[in-house]
């Protein structure tokens, strides 16, 4: 489907900003300003509180965040510079409106399917003596603070933001070095001792007011992606855009600068970045079905991708396991022995229709890998997407975008409605990170944007940090389950078994070989039972870089996953999954392989698990009644 880029972007942008500018004020929960030059915004007592201040001498605007009277973000600069004006200084207040947001929506995947959004929104208008102006829109909820700039038509292109986040210098910080593919390793520093450089905007800090994850939401081709620029010795993290200039046509609403804030359990469970994003643009999403996927890249590589016989054998295994999908990675449409050249007659020569038919007869759907460069023109999209739909392919894994520039984000704006039109679920690799995309486009099942199972440099500390950073903001295609990569992964088999619970993904791509699963029947049985969509998520215990134990509920069963970094020990996990008695099955590392233990515990009691060095565990908890001996379904 050929979709003109600029008209689409302009229409979306104008519609959004028109809505923003015409919102009528309502009765406000936000507090009245303490004086003419300061305003506070909060959703409820005890929730994070934003204080916006206008300096009377410089005319500069700052924003600070507290929680429970304690510092989260110190007063930080707010402002934006366009072709026509520097809107970071010499400003005066032009007015304020307030409204309450109360919404419900349902997702296809994620930490929980049913969502409730309650936010307080305050819009503050600022202008210069020359007549230039912008609105600062601030939203506050129980788990975060966010703001965006709204610029009227005629403001010109955006040259930069002066936005920054000032953290207490001694705040603990978990940062991922910025990479275009968002696959940097997370490392712990303090806010001031982190080396000079650029970091991913999914940065986690621990302050007196609790934990805060910096993030971005509602990023489209109307703007550029952001990263954090930092100078060692300072607690300041500045917003740096991917482009030197953002092309702005007409009115503009920038992405949200978000601060997910609370205790660690609140941050981990938060859906704040999704809640900020626009509602679904897919009218009928009944064809979108999360599920487990047998992924064949680490299992067989490009050679397997070029072999119909190999792919049929993988389909057979997925069908035997009851896994709903099998993913065919790179190689299936290349000429044998080549990597960079596609076959111009791929539609005629491909064996993919035969594989799709074979898999359909066995109750397995096919997901196919495709390079971004083969979908980057209207002609290519018109050739590929209808063909894949006609064959019966269920989803596409699109790879190697490796950019958050405005032009690439405009490509996302085009490929998202096009894949939805052709009923193709999407897994983005070499990509941006979620940033609210899964609420707006629910057929986006997962995104990479992570140093995942393919990496040979991952550490156990990195694995225990991801649930509190990258995976907070949306589905993460880590591709767990690569049991065959002994020595290439930093964790134990029991920890690997628990990863599909610790890491949420709408398409959970299992990276092992059939032989590696068969050699570990307890892990295989656990994977067979795992859903890919959850009714609820809870953090049972955790500390970034040290441990992460999550519980995710499907129906009345809770699935447990724990990963640890450090020496062998007995982990004590609060079973905070509800009252009553629970049959708890855990899979642990034993002397000769994985072992299972069953015990009955009451909700709130402590689950003790022996963990090997850099190990972990997996488990299932189901309500116990007389006669219940296992949690299998």
163-193 confidence digits (pLDDT tens): 999 999 999 999 999 999 999 999 999 999 9
CA distance 432 to 370: 17
Helices 308-321 and 352-361 sit at what angle, rounded to 10 degrees? 20
Q: How far apart are CA 467 and CA 129, in angstroms?
A: 47
* From 30-34, 280-284, 354-358, 604-608, the region with the lowest mean pLDDT: 30-34
Tens-place pLDDT, residues 196-239: 999 999 999 999 999 999 999 999 999 999 999 999 999 999 99
Please tell me the number of Cα atoms within 13 Å of 467 on its side-chain side: 37
The 10s digit of each residue's pLDDT in 61-108 is 999 999 999 999 999 999 999 999 999 999 999 999 999 999 999 999
Tokens of 526: 């656990």
Report the alpha-carbon distance of residue 518 to residue 128 in Å, rounded.
69
Strands 395-399 and 425-428: parallel
Local confidence band at 27 (pLDDT 50, 70, 90 cut-offs): very low
Spatial distance between the Cα atoms of 189 and 173, rounded to a whole number of angstroms: 5
138 or 335, greater pLDDT: 138
List of residues 6+ apart from 331 with CB closer than 8 A: 301, 302, 303, 304, 305, 306
243 DSSP β-pair partners: none
Structure tokens at 610: 């022996």
Which of 564, 537, 543, 550 lies closest to 206 in space, CA to CA? 543
Mean of the pLDDT values across residues 577-605?
97
pLDDT exceeds cutoff 90 at 338: no
Tokens 């975008």 sit on residue:
401
Domain 5-276 top-level CATH class: mainly beta
Q: What is the pLDDT of residues 104-160, one digit of tens each?
A: 999 999 999 999 999 999 999 999 999 999 999 999 999 999 999 999 999 999 999
291-534 has the same fold as 5-276: no
Burial pattern 237-251, b for ≥16 Cβ within 10 A else e, equals bbbbbbbeebbbebb
Give the active site residues: 399, 454
- Which 3 state secondary structure label does DSSP give 239? strand
- The larger pLDDT score, comparing residue 301 to residue 372, is at 372
43 close to 140: Cβ distance less than 8 angstroms: yes
| Percent of the residues in the chain that have a pLDDT greater than 90, as a whole number | 89
- Which listed CATH number (3.30.390.30, 3.60.15.10, 3.20.20.210, 3.20.20.70) goes with 291-534? 3.20.20.70
The domain limits of the chain are 5-276, 291-534
Could you tell me the two tokens for 310?
Answer: 């190999």
**Position 21 pLDDT exceeds 80:** no
pTM: 0.93
Question: Is the Cα torsion angle 536, 540, 544, 547 positive or negative in sign?
Answer: negative
Coil/strand/helix, residue 274: helix
- Helix ranges, 428-552 (H): 437-440, 460-465, 493-502, 514-518, 521-529
**What pLDDT sits at residue 340?**
59
Phi and psi for 235 in degrees, rounded to 5?
Answer: -95, 15
What pLDDT shows up at residue 341?
59
pLDDT digits (tens, 9 = 90+) for 532-561: 899 999 999 999 999 999 999 999 999 999
What pLDDT is recorded for position 28? 37
Nearest residue to 468 (alpha-carbon basis) of 274, 263, 217: 263
Q: Is the pLDDT of residue 22 over 60?
A: no
Mean pLDDT for all residues in the chain: 93
Residues counted in the chain: 633
Helices (H), 271-405: 272-276, 297-305, 308-321, 346-349, 352-361, 378-391
Q: Which residues contact 560 (CB under 8 A, 6 or more apart)?
A: 498, 501, 540, 549, 550, 551, 573, 584, 586, 617, 618, 619, 620, 621
């Amino acid at each position: 489907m050929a979709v003109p880029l600029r008209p689409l972007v302009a229409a979306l942008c104008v519609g959004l900003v028109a809505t923003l500018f015409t919102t009528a004020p309502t009765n406000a929960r936000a507090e009245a300003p303490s004086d003419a030059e300061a305003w506070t915004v909060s959703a409820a007592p005890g929730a994070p509180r934003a204080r916006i201040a206008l300096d009377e001498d410089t005319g500069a605007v700052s924003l600070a965040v507290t929680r429970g009277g304690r510092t989260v973000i110190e007063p930080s600069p707010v402002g934006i510079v366009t072709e026509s004006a520097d809107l970071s200084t010499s400003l005066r207040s032009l007015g304020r409106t307030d409204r309450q947001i109360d919404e419900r929506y349902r997702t296809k995947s994620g930490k929980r399917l049913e969502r409730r959004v309650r936010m307080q929104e305050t819009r503050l208008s600022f202008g210069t003596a020359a007549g230039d102006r912008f609105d600062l829109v601030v939203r506050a909820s129980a788990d975060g603070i966010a703001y965006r700039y709204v610029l009227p038509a005629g403001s010109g292109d955006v040259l930069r933001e002066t936005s920054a986040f000032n953290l207490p210098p001694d705040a603990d910080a978990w940062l991922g070095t910025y990479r275009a593919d968002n696959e940097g390793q997370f490392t712990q520093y303090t806010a001031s001792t982190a080396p000079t450089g650029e970091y991913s905007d999914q940065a986690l800090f621990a302050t007196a007011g609790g934990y805060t994850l910096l993030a971005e939401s509602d990023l489209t081709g109307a703007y550029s992606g952001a990263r954090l620029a930092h100078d060692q010795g300072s607690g300041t993290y500045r917003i740096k855009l991917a482009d030197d200039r953002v092309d702005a046509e007409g009115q503009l609403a920038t992405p949200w600068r978000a601060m997910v804030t609370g205790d660690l359990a609140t941050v981990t469970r938060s859906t704040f970045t999704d809640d900020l994003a626009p509602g679904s643009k897919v009218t009928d999403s009944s064809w979108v079905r999360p599920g487990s996927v047998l992924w064949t890249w680490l299992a067989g590589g490009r050679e397997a991708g070029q072999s119909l016989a190999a792919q049929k054998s993988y389909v057979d295994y997925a069908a035997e396991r009851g896994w709903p999908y099998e993913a065919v990675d790179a190689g299936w449409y290349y000429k044998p022995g080549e990597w960079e050249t596609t076959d111009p007659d791929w539609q005629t020569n491909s064996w993919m229709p035969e594989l799709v038919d074979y898999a359909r007869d066995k109750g397995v759907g096919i997901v196919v890998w495709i390079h971004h460069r083969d979908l980057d023109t209207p002609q290519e999209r018109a050739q590929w997407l209808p063909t894949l739909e006609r064959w019966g392919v269920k989803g596409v894994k699109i790879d190697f975008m490796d950019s958050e520039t405005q032009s690439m984000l405009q490509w996302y704006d085009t490929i998202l409605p096009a894949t939805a039109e052709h009923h193709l679920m999407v897994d983005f690799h070499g990509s941006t990170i979620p940033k609210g995309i899964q609420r707006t486009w629910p057929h986006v099942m997962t995104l990479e944007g992570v140093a995942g199972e393919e990496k040979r440099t991952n550490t156990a500390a990195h694995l225990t940090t991801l649930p509190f950073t990258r995976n907070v903001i949306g589905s993460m295609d880590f591709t767990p389950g690569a049991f065959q990569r002994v020595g290439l992964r930093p964790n134990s088999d029991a920890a690997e078994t628990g990863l599909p619970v610790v890491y949420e993904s709408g398409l959970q791509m299992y990276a092992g070989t059939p032989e590696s699963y068969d050699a570990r029947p307890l892990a295989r049985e656990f994977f067979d039972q795992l859903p890919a969509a959850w009714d609820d998520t809870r953090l049972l215990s955790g500390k970034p870089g040290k441990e992460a134990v999550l519980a995710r509920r499907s129906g009345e069963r809770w699935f447990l996953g724990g990963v640890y970094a450090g020496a062998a020990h007995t982990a004590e996990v609060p079973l905070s999954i509800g009252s009553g008695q629970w049959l708890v099955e855990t899979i642990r590392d034993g002397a000769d392989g994985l072992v299972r233990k069953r015990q009955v515990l009451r909700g709130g009691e402590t689950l003790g698990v022996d963990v090997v060095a850099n190990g972990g565990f997996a488990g299932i908890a189901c309500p116990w009644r007389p006669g219940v001996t296992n949690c299998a379904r």
